[in-house]
Structure 1
């Protein structure tokens, strides 16, 4: 009986050591792959809002998911228990760029594959998807469409704005539409709001400089049509 118990203890120790080794390999591989993913994110990020905390989130979440998959293994009861435990978590931070969500799932997928022991699959998956993402970034796939912007022009009260900018707009803009007219500066000035689409190779500075020559060098602002 004692010999059987000793063998059982040895088997349990070997199983525990094996799990620890597998877990260490999975976490280490996940960390390396998540670093590759976050490096790619930094290289291909185009948005104005860049957050270092988001980079750290991808790395941490990938490693946490890897550990979760190791813990779950083939145990269905543990899987349901973890689902119930994590269901109380609420994520209240809205994503500024839809591509950020894709990178989160990218890191999670690499963590899941590593946690389940599919190390080669995790490596091939990360390398292949990274190449595809960088290729899309280099060729600027889907970026050929013109971006609609909102332009606000301040003019003196005595200026007739109906046709004063038409010649300049036809030269610099592909499309434009006056959407709002309001008084400003205690009624001494007007502010015109246009929705515009600029021609190719036309910078905002060139357009602003041309308008300033017509509106007595008053304020001109250009921004995205939907900054959110």
Structure 2
């Protein structure tokens, strides 16, 4: 019974204006630092600066929602019901991007729960772990000599494109694909059999689509 009363008191607790402002500022600073860290050390091929522009609004929106609903069980249940009918559509294919979004939401949750110390401690411990994880992942790709191949084309035949590329490389991994009415953006990680194979790939891609746009990114040139 005491535990249930404590649970109810957590819902009915109010937060002072000073604490609310402190959590807003602290969450903004932490997520901004996380944004800078991700731009510099992340491994995703997409525009990390553009993607990370959503971090602060997402964290603050989460903080506001949690701050409001934690004062009422009815509001909490209502939010669950509302979110259950919302369908989120996003062109997020890279697990690293999803991981960063979950971290941002996590810091927003901590701020909304009025746990500033927990937010600071979590940030201090998580950041070094992310740093070493990004470095290890990047080093693994460097050691195998893999590079990124980014393709923009008006055609939308992903299967044919992938099958054609597989004939000219020793390793092929689809990292991202975004398809729209105007065409398709595809990102692969590839490993060439020999340097001269890049000319064969270019010729093959131009036969696939005469107006195709290609960019090849050496792993060593990606932000380190």
Match of 2:53, SS state, is helix
CA root-mean-square deviation: 3.8
Q: Does 1:103 align with 2:87?
A: no
Q: Does 1:219 align with 2:213?
A: no
Distance of 2:134 and 2:90 partners within structure 1: 26
Residue 118 (structure 1) aligns with? 115
Structure 2 counterparts to residues 59-78 of structure 1, below 5 A:
59-78=56-75
Going from structure 1 to structure 2, the CA distance change for 1:195 and 1:28 (only over 3 Å counts) comes to: same
5+ long unaligned stretches in structure 2? 1-12, 150-162, 173-190, 206-213, 217-224
Of the three residues 156, 160, 167, the one matched with 1:193 is 167
What TM-score comes out, normalization by structure 1 length?
0.57
Distance of 2:99 and 2:25 partners within structure 1: 22
Q: Does 1:83 align with 2:67?
A: no
Contact 2:168 2:192 in 1 (8 A): no
Going from structure 1 to structure 2, the CA distance change for 1:71 and 1:211 (only over 3 Å counts) comes to: closer
Distance of 1:73 and 1:35 partners within structure 2: 25
Q: Which has the larger radius of gyration?
A: 1
Distance of 1:97 and 1:192 partners within structure 2: 21
5+ long unaligned stretches in structure 1? 1-14, 151-178, 181-190
Going from structure 1 to structure 2, the CA distance change for 1:48 and 1:79 (only over 3 Å counts) comes to: same
User: Size of the alignment, in residue pairs?
Assistant: 162
Distance of 2:84 and 2:198 partners within structure 1: 55
What TM-score comes out, normalization by structure 2 length?
0.58
Contact 1:146 1:197 in 2 (8 A): no
Of the three residues 28, 35, 42, the one matched with 2:39 is 42
Q: Does 1:207 align with 2:195?
A: yes
Q: Does 1:55 align with 2:43?
A: no
